[in-house]
């Protein structure tokens, strides 16, 4: 029997004593070989940092597999794939993880390595969803079926992280100048 879904409501301002976990921001334990930091800031339409957001990540493992029974290739056990980090007073977040591998896409295509992100915050009545792509995957990015849906190269660029000394930087601009591309999911 079909049932209508429950509506979303904002996470509000007062979740940081409730939702973060001690190891939430570490998809892999510190010291894991090949671990990278994904870092960024969340800013609003005035360019001001958003200090009360929650960033969540979901991604494949380095082989492009998911620890999930709905991966028809079989669940690849052992990689949590999920990260959760509240923003700090400067709007900053950081997730320690490993770089995902390419993932099969629609119609036999291959998706470039990517990380799905959700952002929750006071003032966001529903999460906003975006994707992080990697700057050192230009060839794979060029044929990625999701990036291909975004016509404007400047818009596509909002989804490609920048390389840093210990990983990648991915700033999330909720509104305004160089607004991040967000997805209807």
Query: Hey, which residues between 133 and 162 contact other proteins (CB under 8 A)?
Result: 145-146, 149-150
CA angle 47–12–6, rounded 5-degree value: 120
Distance CA 107, CA 80 (A): 27
Task: Give the torsion sign (CA, 142, 145, 150, 156).
Answer: negative
The only residue of 36, 39, 41, 56 in contact with other proteins, by rule CB under 8 A: 56
- The stretch among 28-36, 135-143, 162-170, 177-185 that binds other proteins (CB under 8 A) is 177-185
Q: Which residues ranging from 67 to 126 are in contact with other proteins (CB under 8 A)?
A: 67-68, 70-74, 80-82, 102-108, 110-111, 114, 116, 118, 120-126
Q: Does 26 bind other proteins (CB under 8 A)?
A: no
Q: What's the closest the beta carbon of residue 20 comes to other proteins, in angstroms?
A: 11
Between 41 and 59, name the residue whose CB sits nearer to other proteins.
59
Task: Indicate the burial class of 102 (C-beta count within 10 angstroms; 0-12, 13-18, 19 or more).
Answer: middle
Distance CA 132, CA 83 (A): 13
Characterize the bridge pairing of strands 128-133 and 114-121: antiparallel
Q: Does 176 bind other proteins (CB under 8 A)?
A: yes
The only residue of 32, 45, 90, 135 in contact with other proteins, by rule CB under 8 A: 45
Between 169 and 179, name the residue whose CB sits nearer to other proteins.
179
Distance CA 135, CA 165 (A): 13
Q: Does 132 bind other proteins (CB under 8 A)?
A: no
Q: Does 9 bind other proteins (CB under 8 A)?
A: yes
């Amino acid at each position: 029997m079909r049932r209508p879904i429950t509506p979303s409501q904002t996470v509000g301002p007062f979740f940081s004593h409730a939702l973060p976990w001690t190891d939430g921001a570490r998809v892999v334990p510190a010291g894991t070989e090949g671990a990278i930091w994904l870092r960024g800031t969340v800013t609003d339409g005035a360019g001001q940092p958003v200090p009360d957001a929650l960033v969540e990540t979901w991604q494949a493992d380095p082989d492009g597999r998911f620890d999930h029974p709905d991966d028809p290739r079989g669940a690849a056990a052992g990689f949590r794939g999920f990260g959760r980090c509240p923003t700090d007073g400067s709007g900053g977040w950081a997730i320690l993880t490993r770089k995902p591998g390419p993932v099969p896409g629609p119609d036999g295509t291959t998706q470039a390595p990517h990380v799905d992100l959700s952002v929750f915050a006071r003032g966001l009545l529903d999460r906003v969803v975006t994707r992080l792509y990697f700057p050192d995957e230009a060839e794979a990015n060029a044929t990625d079926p999701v990036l291909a849906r975004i016509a404007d190269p400047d818009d596509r660029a909002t989804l490609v992280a920048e390389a840093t000394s210990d990983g990648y930087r991915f700033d999330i601009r909720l509104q305004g100048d160089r607004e991040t591309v967000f997805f209807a999911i």
